[in-house]
Structure 1
Amino acid sequence: MDTDPTTTACAVYSPTLNFENAWTLTAGTSVFSAELIAIAQALKHIYNLDDHPLEVMIFSDSSSAIKTIMSATQTNNEAVSDARETIASLKSSGTATSIVWIPSHTWIEGNEKADRLAATECTKQNGNKIANNLSAEEIISLTKANWRDDLLSTLRQCQKKCIQVRTRLGVIKWHQHNNRKISTCLHRLRAGHHYLNSFRYRIDQESDPSCRHGFEATENSQHLLLTCPKHENHRTRLRLFLSGNHLPFEEDTILGLNLAIDPRTQFKIRNLLANFLVQSGVINSI
């Protein structure tokens, strides 16, 4: 079995029968189903031989697929039913069937060969397709994935950087903080909805957008975090950390919006920013 973001494939390899084949599966097929389908295809090939052997052993690196086939549990996955029915048909024709688990990625030649066949199949535009029906779980999973993609695409039309940088839904962990007040402050800064004078001016054109400490600059998040002389001493540790890690001292980096930075560094930047907000008293202005 092999998979890439858009294609799932499975393969069968038998040096004894001089047989190998690979198939491209229906979009949305899970890894679990791909393993089941590979076993079912191997069983079908054996059943269709002119001379049925007295005994056959099929090797798979999916213990979950083997356990599911060999159990009596009801399932809506058609590959399980196919495998069970073929095993019963082989038994009635005099062939004893065993499905044996083997570890994956341990250089077992037959297993490595099957993996290579499946990987190659994934790269083909017009592969050897099996129009397998998706299970209920796979349909639900595919529907959710499509919904997430559509929602993310819609969200990206927003002009806010904190939305545009997202590559997936869910929580970005370094955007949170255990302290609720700090977490709220960080979210306000990223979203651009805060109590700084620049935002007050957007609501009331008669208000003063300039720095409340008397400096000649618009009081926005960039001024507050990067340049306001009032807080220069408090941002020293943050500035030194970014410089020491060869990172730019800029708003996106400080607010965790540069997703190219590794998570461990992101958390350190967030903690230094939290310290700056609290020690400077800026947190009470946002």
Structure 2
Amino acid sequence: MVQSRLPSAGHWYHTHFHIYTDGSRLTNPPSVGAAIYIPSRSLATAWQLPATASITRAELFAIKDGLQFATTLAAPCSIALFSDSLSALQIVKSHRPHSHHNVSLIIHHLIFHLISLGHTIHLQWVPFYVGVMGNTVVDRAAAQAHTHPSLIDLATDQTDFLTDLKTACRRHWDTTMTDALQHTSLGHIRQDTRHHWWTYSPNQALDTAVTRLRIGLNAHLHRLGMTNSPHCPWCSTQPDTPEHLLLHCPRHHSHRVALLHSLCYLPTQTNND
């Protein structure tokens, strides 16, 4: 059973066997650690994982090893396993997890095995900011795992592999596109592959209008050989730029007046100091 709320002062589980788990990840240099803490045994164990592992993979690894430790208990009892990773617990809770399938399957098998041995299992989320002593201890243990001299042998998780692959492809595409844009007319409105605000609009007409405005419709069509002049269609000597269209073109003077008039009715705050 997975609980999403923290029991007040731990009273819900005061008769349970407690296991605390945690994962830790550093970015510079890349390093991943995981740890479990057993308060009744005064035992803390930590592992350094391959740097390619994600923080969710580290949290799931710690949960797995916490349950693995529970299989060594001599007599059946009620077990409370605490984790500060709600996302990891949600993956464990799901019957069809969207990621980290291999380690999730192992965790499910461990839970079923413990239940078959007569244990009762409770997986409890503990927010890192509430200051639970056991969570603080395991957090320190996971942080110390970064200093371990050797890594454990851990197969690359498919989810982490796909994430790394997407990151590498995005980085390569970003570099390639950035270099290519420097030699095109679009380089002044787009420098990389990051999403711009208008790309999230569900309104396709708005997307089209904003894109045309930014690239200069007539100027862009001229570069494609579809028009005879790159200038404004209504001002034959003026360049077709967003600034000209929005601020200066006499064709749209009435629209600008209407816009300024409507803006007068918007609530504004005046600084009289």
Tell me the equivalent position of 2:176: 154
Question: Equivalent of 2:152, from 119, 124, 130?
Answer: 130
Question: Are positions 1:100 and 2:110 aligned together?
Answer: no
The CA RMSD over aligned residues, in Å, is: 4.6
Q: 1:47 to 1:162 in 2, by over 3 A?
A: same
Q: Deviations over 1:66-115 (max 9, x none)?
A: 5579x9xxx96257548957996x999xx865542112215433234434
User: Which of 188, 205, 208 in structure 2 is aligned with 1:184?
Assistant: 208
Q: Residue 11 of structure 1 contacts residue 22 of structure 1 at CA under 8 Å; is this kept in 2? A: yes
Alpha-carbon distance in 1 for matches of 2:202, 2:103: 46
Amino acid paired to 1:153: T
Query: 1:139-179 CA deviation, whole Å, 9 max, x = no partner?
Result: 333323322332233222223244315435xx744564626
Q: Which has the higher strand share?
A: 2
- Tell me which of 241, 252, 259 is aligned to 1:220: 241
How far apart are residue 186 of structure 1 and its match? 1.9
CA shift, 1:36, in A, is 2.9
What stretches of structure 1 of length at least 5 have no aligned partner? Answer: 246-286
* In 1, Cα distance between equivalents of 2:139 and 2:25: 10
Which of 102, 119, 133 is the equivalent residue of 1:77? 102
Q: Give 1:228 deviation, angstroms.
A: 3.0
The 3-state SS of whatever aligns with 1:164 is coil
1:11/1:114 contact within 8 Å kept = yes
CA distance in 2, matches of 1:156, 1:18: 54
Deviation by residue 1:227-270 (Cα, 9 ceiling, x = unmatched): 335434533647969xx79xxxxxxxxxxxxxxxxxxxxxxxxx
Q: CA deviation at 1:54?
A: 3.5
Distance 1:35 1:64 in 2: 12
AA of the residue aligned to 1:220: T
Specify whether residues 238 and 2 from structure 1 end up closer, same or farther in structure 2 by C-alpha distance, changes over 3 A only.
Answer: farther
Q: Is 2:35 the counterpart of 1:14? A: no
Number of residue-to-residue matches in the alignment: 224
CA separation of 1:175 and 1:84: change in aligned 2, threshold 3 A: closer
* Change beyond 3 A, Cα 1:189–1:135: same
Using the size of structure 1 for normalisation, the TM-score is 0.55
Q: Distance in 2 between matches of 1:165 and 1:148?
A: 10
Q: Which one has more relative contact order, counting CA pairs under 8 Å at least 6 apart?
A: 2
Q: 2:255 is matched with which residue?
A: 234
- Code of the aligned partner of 2:75: L
In structure 2, the gaps of 5 or more residues are 1-22
Aligned to 1:39: 63
Q: Who is 2:16 aligned against?
A: none
Equivalent pairs: percent with the same residue? 22
Equivalent position amino acid for 1:167 in 2 = R
Under a length normalisation based on structure 2, what TM-score does the superposition of the two structures give?
A: 0.57
SS of match in other structure, 2:245? helix
2-structure distance, mates of 1:117, 1:231: 66
| Alpha-carbon separation, structure 2, partners of 1:103 and 1:175 | 33
1:100 maps to a residue whose letter is H
* 1:173–1:215 Cα change, 3 Å: closer
